[in-house]
């Protein structure tokens, strides 16, 4: 009896959470319909509420915005608009902070969240998965000796919160694991185990892991 109940939960809980997330996303994007005159709302045109029309409108607005801002006139409008926002004290701090983060995350040339790493945190001997976000910059590099990388250590099961650390590059191990697989591993608290990667650790990494009992480097056979 208990086994059947748990099996049913394993089927319905993911479906329920997925349906709830989609409903929340669609209802939020449907708020974009408020930008249209009341006479152009789906309820006024067809007589009934049609969920998801706001999603189509939102995607269309995003696409047209990208299309318009790729030409010279559009870029000048963006520069003008950002100049206006720069003159508003509180708004400029929020806008430019979010803009810098989004430009870093969505840039095709950026390194942010392109690599999954294995790091020792919160103490030596304890290992967790982190994501490479770049390299230290500004006056910070004047106080760091050697080569460092910037990493983001997410929390479980909510990876949107976490800790930003600057660690020596020699102390991090790049994993042969996609970012999606690493996120699933983190969110599931280690339950959803990703497949083995194809890369083999370098000798230095093997020695480092050997000290924690995780990996034992292969020993050569003596004649």
Tell me how many degrees the CA angle 137-143-144 measures, rounded to the nearest 5: 75
Q: Which residue has the higher pLDDT, 44 or 104?
A: 44
pLDDT tens, position by position, 169-206: 999 999 998 888 898 889 888 888 887 655 444 444 44
Percentage above 90 pLDDT, the chain: 19
Local structure of 128: helix, strand or coil = strand
Nearest one of 183, 214, 186 to 201, comparing CA atoms: 214
Confidence (pLDDT) at 205: 45
Confidence (pLDDT) at 111: 61
Mean pLDDT within 154-169: 89
**Other C-beta atoms lying within 10 Å of the C-beta of residue 52:** 13
Residues 6+ apart with CB under 8 A from 1: none
> What are phi and psi for residue 32, nearest 5 degrees?
-65, -20
Q: Are 118 and 129 in contact (CB under 8 A)?
A: yes
Confidence of residue 104 (pLDDT cuts 50, 70, 90): low
Describe the chain by its helix, strand, coil percentages, rounded to 5: 50, 15, 35
C-alpha span between 53 and 46 (Å, rounded): 12
- 122: preceding bond cis by omega (within 30 degrees): yes
pLDDT tens, position by position, 5-58: 888 888 898 888 888 888 888 888 888 888 788 777 777 777 777 778 888 888
Confidence of residue 219 (pLDDT cuts 50, 70, 90): very low
Confidence of residue 110 (pLDDT cuts 50, 70, 90): low
Q: Where are the domains of the chain?
A: 28-106, 116-210
**Other C-beta atoms lying within 10 Å of the C-beta of residue 182:** 22
Confidence (pLDDT) at 167: 94
Q: In what order do the strands lie in the sheet with 148-154?
A: 162-168, 148-154, 127-134, 116-120, 173-174
Residue linked to tokens 């000798």? 203
Q: Are 30 and 56 in contact (CB under 8 A)?
A: no
C-alpha span between 154 and 148 (Å, rounded): 19
Confidence (pLDDT) at 208: 43
Confidence (pLDDT) at 223: 41
Confidence (pLDDT) at 152: 92
Q: Which residue has the higher pLDDT, 74 or 174?
A: 174
């Amino acid at each position: 009896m208990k086994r059947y109940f748990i099996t049913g939960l394993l089927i319905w809980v993911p479906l329920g959470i997925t349906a709830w997330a989609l409903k929340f996303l669609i209802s939020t994007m449907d708020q974009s319909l408020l930008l249209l005159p009341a006479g152009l709302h789906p309820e006024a045109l067809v007589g009934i509420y049609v969920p998801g029309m706001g999603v189509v409108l939102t995607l269309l607005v995003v696409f047209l915005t990208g299309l318009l801002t790729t030409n010279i006139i559009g870029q000048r409008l963006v520069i003008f608009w950002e100049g206006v926002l720069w003159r508003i004290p509180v708004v400029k701090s929020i806008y430019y902070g979010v803009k810098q983060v989004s430009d870093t995350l969505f840039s095709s040339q950026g390194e942010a969240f392109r690599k999954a790493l294995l790091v020792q945190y919160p103490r030596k001997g304890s290992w967790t998965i982190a994501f490479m976000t770049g390299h230290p910059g500004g006056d910070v590099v004047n106080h760091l000796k050697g080569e460092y990388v910037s990493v983001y250590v997410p929390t479980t099961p909510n990876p949107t919160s976490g800790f930003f650390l600057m660690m020596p590059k020699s102390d991090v191990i790049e994993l042969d694991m996609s970012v999606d697989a690493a996120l699933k591993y983190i969110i599931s608290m280690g339950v959803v185990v990703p497949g083995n990667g194809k890369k083999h650790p370098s000798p230095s990494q093997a020695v480092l892991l050997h000290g924690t009992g995780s990996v034992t480097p292969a020993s050569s056979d003596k004649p």
